[in-house]
Structure 1
């Protein structure tokens, strides 16, 4: 592609900085229209070594999906411990206050700069491997921010005023790389998973026997009335015979699961990536939206019968109702009105069906989206009920650290608007290894082998995206009816 975008952005940056040196620590943000490309494809096409973030929302009725891809960092805010989100909110507000946007008329409608990142399932000190580079809560304000919405796209460049002169050659080189990626991303492609990635791979983690034993322990706690529900997670570490490509995996899973929110957050050489079907919460002005998503069955030849059985299952309906009740309890006091449908519908993905209750409300005030995240996270869909007892049971019984899996990933802007998903259908990927996770909601009536088969179905998308579809030859996976 031509260098018009690059020339335009650098010219705008020069004009912006010529208007004044700015205060110490000021960030100047300039923006220009950019080609419309799928955000995940842009990330996959980039040859830049800059760390990445991605949040690619699906189409939803009555909403304009927002796609965000970021490269590098203009700023990062992090928090640890129980008060991590309020500290992140305060730090981000101070950074937004030091940010000066410069827009020409052709970019007046561009969505503004925003932080992209996430948080862990539980706070943990110190954070264990393989999650040591991921703080309890961590958000990036990208140096290069691509945003697309409603058939338009823009590229933001955010620079500390004191860094412009010494880093000009670096900025120009980064821009050349991003322009090349935009050009490559405009060409349609269907990246296929490589064949045989599982050949020679070393596999460790939660076995069928170990997970079934964990489920039986959970059922014992439920029968003892210590818990109503708990969600144990199985972890698998895959060490491949050849290096893994996280960015290519992002493109594969994005194209295969377009009805989900595709996300990625990089820290060091590890990328946490996935395709979540479950919105935790979004805030746009005073409109708040969330999903109750719990109760699952695998897809099969007779999908209609499977859906009828899912809707009729007392066990699955009980599991789902606990999630919806918890969401309504958390959001009700914060909303002037809250619409909670009487019963669930079905959310179908290529590999599974879920019971789904979309919930929408009007906030009483301008509550920051991170305050809503704090109120809702973790929902019973990924922890259990009662929440604190379930979290304590998980900490005592799960053999592997979840890290950000079943945490939350999303974005927020200067107005306190934002969109977050529950970080499921995900894995942590580096060139040398991949950690894959999946959980199952356990309530009275759960069957251990059936729950094990469910988690294998849930891991199938990530296995395929990484090229491990052939790993079904593993005897432990064969024991779960051939999954994935």
Structure 2
């Protein structure tokens, strides 16, 4: 890539600021065409601009996948407690109102600036380690936003007009780093073993015995009629023998799981990252899409017979049906039409098969995507049913804070459109440790050792990305 991108963006910024003084606090956003490169590799190649965010949706039928990378931060909006997403929506609207986009003709079709971030599984009065830097809900409006779709890409630069003079030199240095990262990201992928956890890395956390005991407690609650389903989580702490590079971990898992939604959100020195197979909700205008994903079998020899057994399993079908019924009951009243297939199909990943029901609909009105997230989260796939009682059971029985794991990650724009994934197949990574999580849906008929084995299969992608297996 030529260095013309940097010169072009700075020239556009200068023209935009000369066109007239804005109000105090106004954010000027300029954009220029950029090379198309893998989003996660761009993040891995650019180590100088923080915090980072990433959201890379997979290809889907009749839908353009959108990749978003953010470096730095022009603003952050956060919320806490039961009104966390209402607080985020209100603060974001004020910031979008202060944002002035400047586009030349060659970038007229570029997707506009957007917030990227996520929310925790449940709200907490106090955030326990290792989640102390992650609010109940937190979204970044990056200083640099790379957006790519359908063979096109653009780079946005966002600057508060009154800060332009004082930040000019840092903007130029960051831009040079990003330009170099574009060149590196365009090269063929090369794994870097030195970025792994190292030989002799230790894994501590929920033991087989402890998790089986937790499952048995869940089955007791189900048989007592307290809940119908619950999803306990097993946590593991990886203690490496050498420093971990979260960006390299992200690049490896993104390359290996291209059919999933790859994501990353950095807060402080920790990066929450993963490759989720499950969409929570997407809104494009009044069109919405979501997934019912529950019921799992580990891949192995005789894959076809494993799939047949999964489709025929009363226990797995019951677990799946609870998820689909819950989603339909939440979205049905909000939709003019809702298409819910009668029977699930199979969603296959390199390590597991899932029962999958894709759900599509048309909203009655322009409901903001965050209102849909609030209505759906947490789904029975990550909490249980009835939702409130299952979530309360988890709070009372799980020994480790799960933080943003089984929360939601995604983006939203000024129009209220957005795309969110359920935050699973994920981990929290810093230089000196990584926390990994995996859950299993417990219903009547669940077998504790089999459920523990399911959590091991679900943690495998992150372990591989960390260089453990």
The alignment partner of 1:82 has SS state of: helix
Matched-pair contact (CA < 8 Å) for 1:193–1:465: no
Match of 2:318 in 1: 318
Match of 2:348 in 1: 348
Match of 1:97 in 2: 97
Q: How does 1:286-305 map to 2 (within 5 A)?
A: 286-305=286-305
Report the CA distance between 1:195 and its aligned residue: 9.0
Report the CA distance between 1:455 and its aligned residue: 0.3
Report the CA distance between 1:188 and its aligned residue: 1.6
Whether 1:435 aligns to 2:438 is no
Match of 2:114 in 1: 114
TM-score by length of 2: 0.99
Matched-pair contact (CA < 8 Å) for 2:337–2:363: yes
Q: How does 1:157-168 map to 2 (within 5 A)?
A: 157-168=157-168
Once residues 189 and 391 of structure 1 are traced to their aligned partners in structure 2, the CA distance between those partners, rounded to angstroms, is: 41
Match of 2:462 in 1: 462
The alignment partner of 1:164 has SS state of: helix
Cα distance, 1:216–1:337 mapped onto 2, change above 3 Å: same
Once residues 392 and 88 of structure 2 are traced to their aligned partners in structure 1, the CA distance between those partners, rounded to angstroms, is: 25
Report the CA distance between 1:192 and its aligned residue: 5.5
Whether 1:409 aligns to 2:371 is no
More displaced 10-residue stretch of structure 1: 199-208 or 156-165:
199-208
Report the CA distance between 1:203 and its aligned residue: 2.5
Matched-pair contact (CA < 8 Å) for 1:425–1:461: yes
Matched-pair contact (CA < 8 Å) for 1:347–1:355: yes
Once residues 378 and 194 of structure 2 are traced to their aligned partners in structure 1, the CA distance between those partners, rounded to angstroms, is: 35
Match of 2:142 in 1: 142
1:126-180 superposed Cα distances (whole Å, 9 cap, x missing partner): 1111000000000000000000001000000000111100000000000000000
Q: How does 1:151-190 map to 2 (within 5 A)?
A: 151-190=151-190
TM-score by length of 1: 0.96
Once residues 464 and 178 of structure 2 are traced to their aligned partners in structure 1, the CA distance between those partners, rounded to angstroms, is: 28
Matched-pair contact (CA < 8 Å) for 1:194–1:467: no
Q: How many residues align?
A: 469
Once residues 45 and 213 of structure 2 are traced to their aligned partners in structure 1, the CA distance between those partners, rounded to angstroms, is: 43
Once residues 13 and 288 of structure 1 are traced to their aligned partners in structure 2, the CA distance between those partners, rounded to angstroms, is: 36
Matched-pair contact (CA < 8 Å) for 2:79–2:138: yes
Matched-pair contact (CA < 8 Å) for 1:55–1:262: yes
Match of 2:371 in 1: 371
Once residues 354 and 412 of structure 1 are traced to their aligned partners in structure 2, the CA distance between those partners, rounded to angstroms, is: 27
Match of 2:392 in 1: 392
Matched-pair contact (CA < 8 Å) for 2:44–2:248: yes
Match of 2:84 in 1: 84
The alignment partner of 2:356 has SS state of: strand
Match of 1:482 in 2: none
Match of 1:274 in 2: 274
The alignment partner of 1:121 has SS state of: coil
Matched-pair contact (CA < 8 Å) for 1:28–1:100: yes
